[in-house]
Structures are given as structure tokens and as C-alpha cells.
A and B are shown apart, each in its own frame.
Chain A
Amino acid sequence: MLFQAILFYAFAAMLIGAALGVVFSRNPVHAVMFLVLTFFQAAALWLMAEAEFLAIVLVLVYVGAVMVLFLFVVMMLDVNVESAKRGLTRFAPVAIGIALVMVVQLIQLIWYKSSSAAIPGIFSTNPEGYDNTKALGAVLYTEHVYAFEIAAVILLLAIVAAITLTMRKRPGLKLQNIAAQVAVRAKDRVRIVKMKSEKKL
């Protein structure tokens, strides 16, 4: 249990440190990398809670896909740190308000959990042979199947909408005609001319 406690506090401390790094780093690429570190620490904490499916999916989806695209955007757009900082004082009250609401919600949740059932240790231990993936699947595809499928359709809709927005007709846009490229044969491009050799001058 002590070993687990040490690991938990190490991961938790790194998580908070990385999260602070996201907010306070001046370089946007550094901030994105701190956010990646935050996700990894969160995944480690979930692994300790025996939620290996959620932990690995967190790394797979957020680190492997979302943050890569994020990094792309941040690298391509030359984000001006100075102008972004000017808005800090203006938005600070809103940010503090949101943070306060989230803290209150978290405290409520923890208070509710700790009052309703006794917490045996740092993490609840599951019985031998417990499979988080299986348990999650069993609930997701039976009890919450409608919510799950509606969420999937909403995501699909978002993808289609995003693609449609970029598919607008732009003047002067040059595109390859793939069918024509594939259908081309050597005789369309190269003309072999046969001629007699010329006489030496």
C-alpha cells in the first residue's frame, strides 16, 4: 500500500506540475507538450485505479491523435504570445469563476463518495480476474447503448460538417484528376518518332 501511495503522489504531483506548465509556459509548443505530459500522468493514475482501458484510450485518442493535430495548428499558426497575454487581465475573472465552479463540483463529488461508502484504501481493489475492458463493454453495449450510439452519430455529424465547411468552391483551386492520371498510357505522353539518320555534313 505504501508503494502505491508513493506512486500515486508522484504521479499526482507531476500531473499538477504539468498542468501548471500548460498555463504558465510562454511558448505555445511547450504548452502543448506539457498538456501531453498531463494526459500521460492522468493515464498513469487511471492505471493505478485498475481502469486500464480508459487509461490507454486516453493516451491513444488524446495524445496520439488530438494533441498531434493541436501541435500542427500551434506550429503552423505563428501565435503571438504578447497579444495573447494582453487579454489575460480581461479574461481572468471569467477564468477564475469557471475554475471555482469546477472546484466546488469536485469537492461535492468527493464529499458524496466519501460519505456514501467507506473507502478501503487509496484505490478500491477489484476482485481477481477483473477485466476493466470487459466490464466497460458490458455496460456500454447493454445499459447505455442508446446514449453510446447517439454520441457516435453526433461525432460523425461533426466530422461531416467539418469536411463540408472545407469543401466550398474556391476560385483558382487546382485539383488532380486521379482517374485521368491512372488511365494515362505511355503512348499518350511519349511520341516515338522514327526517322532516317541524316547524312554527315
Chain B
Amino acid sequence: MLGFLQKLVPQFVQDIWNSLPPLVQYLTITTWKIVFVMFSVILVVAFSTYFERKVIGRMQNRVGPNRVGPLGLGQPFADVIKLVIKEVVIPAKSNKFLFVIAPLLSLTPALAAWAVMPLHPGFVIADINAGLLYVLALTSVGVYGVILAGWATNSKYAFLGAMRTGAQIVAYEIAMGFALVGVLMAGGSLNLGVIVEAQAGGVSQWFWIPLFPLFIVYWISGVAETNRAPFDVAEGESEIVAGFHVEYSGVAFAMFFLAEYANMVLISALVSVFFLGGWASPFEGWTFLQATPLAFMAAPSFGWLFAKICFFMYSFFWYRATFPRYRYDQIMRLGWKIFIPITIIWIGVEGVMAWLRVGPWSGLGA
């Protein structure tokens, strides 16, 4: 693959490249990786808005968007153009600086977390040892955008939405953190790539079986973190209009929209990496596939991660179409009084199992 690419590039370009200092080479390659991943994420986000409307439309016996382009596929771009050319209205009594910066604060962490995501065997932007902590830290920073937006708007509805989100995210973050403690106990590392490699060996070796309660807790907490239905009380259009982004319009609103969907894709990818083997193939170890044209099915690749992300994204849309909104006090109760005890108990169970050398942790600490 690399040799083929080298033949394509003229000799003098290669000479110039090789004469560059290693720092410049490294910065160039990393910049291109970042641009590539960001572009892909934003494209996925754009089309997931289209698929959301299609999926929910079908579930509710409607057609969904079908006017712009073939099958309505141009709809996301039409939406973007519409939002970009609209005026951004800044309320007179708002705190202007924080009002403008809040959408950026909510979008940046959602995109920055992709830096440590192992997308393909050997492809990750930053292969750092504390990747899992980095992801946790960034997902917790995302709440600032919402809280500041609600406060800076200087409106009761926005403020109520911000308060609800803040309390909700703080509550569910703890359950998410504890679920990840279980993952890192099983994976034996904070590096996301190592966690994926620890799940090698097909579906039965993925962490979702031994860590099933944590998998469920993490996924539901992830839905709550992204403020999606049935946990979308922060927006709650029947109670507080649109919650924290009630006064946002045009590009500023588009940023919040982008952040929400980028967070959904991120949570889907994280669940896949932590519990469903990331880029690992479910048919790993099916040796009889080797001789057939289906050999690629058994090989680990980005395609598998993408398929898992698509499944979880579909689940997001599915929940939105089927579940009624949770009552606020019940959300809090679920987070604090049910999920946190479940995770703590399962971490204890895992510890005992590792101590007795049963289960997939028997090789650890030896």
C-alpha cells in the first residue's frame, strides 16, 4: 500500500519531504490526519440528521425528507445553507461574549475527543497512554457550553434548561466513569488501542458479555449525556420551549446541533470501542473464510467500527421515535440511585473474579 503510494509521488517531492525536519514532518502528517477525521465526522453528522428524519419518518408511517436531490439526500446541505445565511440574533440583555462562545465550547470537546479514538488497526491521531481519561475529561467539559448558553441568554427558559442539563450530566458522568473503571480493569490499560486489542478473538471475547451490566449502564448514561430522547428534558419543547438554545439562531444554533450529533457519534464509537471490540471483526477466528472472497469479513478494519457506530446511531433514532420523555425526578433517581450502585457492585464482582482467576481477567496481574 505504502510502496504503491510512493511510486505515485514524483521523486523531487519525496526528496523535499525527506529533507524536512522530523518535527515538521510529524506536524504535517498529524494535521492531515486531523483534517481527514474531522471532515469524516462532520460528514457523518450531516447525513445522520438525514437518516434520523428518514428513520423516524418510516417508524411513524411518513416518508421523511424526499425533495432535495435523489431520495432527499441533499437535505443536510440545504439545511446547512439555510442556517448559515440566517441572521444570528443576539438578545439585547444577554452576556454577549459568553453567548457567542458557548456554542464553540460545546462543539470543541465533542470533536477533540476523536484524537484518541482507534479507528483502524494502527490508525489513531494521538496514541496516548491515558486515552480513556482524556475521553472522560473531554466529555465532562462539554457541559460548559450548555450551562453558559443558558446563563448568558438571560432568559428563564434557557436557564431552566441549562440547570436541568447540568444536573443531569453531572449525575450520569459518575455512572459512566464507574462503568469505564470496569473496562479498564478488564482491558488492563488506559490506552484505547490496547483496550480494543484486549478484546481480540471474536464476539465471545468482547467485553459486553463479562461486563454486561456496565455495558447497559454506559450506553444508557451515554444517551443521557447527549441529552437525547428519552432524556431530553434540557430541551423539553413542551415545557421550556427549546431549553438552553431557545434564543440561538443561524450558525450559532447550527453549532449546538452539530455538537449534539457529534456527541452522539462519539458515544456510539466509545461504546463500540469499550464493549464491542472497536475495529475487531465479529468473525475473527473463522479460518474457513480465509480461502473465500469473504476473507475481508474476518479481518479487523474500520468498516466494523463504522458498522457498530451505525447500529448505535440507529438506536438513538429508534429511542426517539418510541420512548416518551422521562420525568425529571425519575432521571435523577435512575442516575444516582440505580446506575451508580449497579456499577459499584459489578466492579466488586469483577474484582473478586479477577482475584479468583475466573473469566477473561485470569491472565491479568500474573
Contact = CB atoms under 8 A, between A and B. Distances in A.
Interface of A: 3, 27, 29-30, 33, 36, 52-53, 56-57, 59-60, 63-65, 68-69, 71-72, 75, 131-134, 176, 178
B23 A59 contact: no
Contacts of B128: 52
13 contacts: A27-B95, A29-B98, A29-B148, A29-B151, A33-B148, A57-B137, A60-B137, A64-B173, A68-B143, A68-B144, A71-B147, A75-B151, A133-B190
Given A56-B134, A63-B137, A64-B137, A36 B98 contact: no
A60 B169 CA distance: 13
A176 B141 contact: no
B166 A178 contact: no
B130 interface: yes
Interface in B205-251: none
Given A3-B23, A133-B190, A178-B333, A57 B133 contact: yes
Contacts, number: 65
Given A52-B129, A133-B129, A133-B190, A33 B98 contact: yes
B141 A59 contact: yes
Contacts of A33: 98, 148
B349 interface: no
Interface residues of B, number: 26
Contact of B170 (A27, A52, A69, A178): A69
B334 to A, nearest CB: 11
Nearest to A29: B151
B129 A132 contact: yes
Contacts of A60: 133, 136-137, 140
Contacts of A27: 95
Contacts of A65: 140, 170, 173
Nearest to A134: B129
Contact of B130 (A30, A36, A52, A71): A52
A132 B191 CA distance: 13
B15 interface: no
Contact of B329 (A30, A59, A72, A176): A176
A18 B144 CA distance: 17
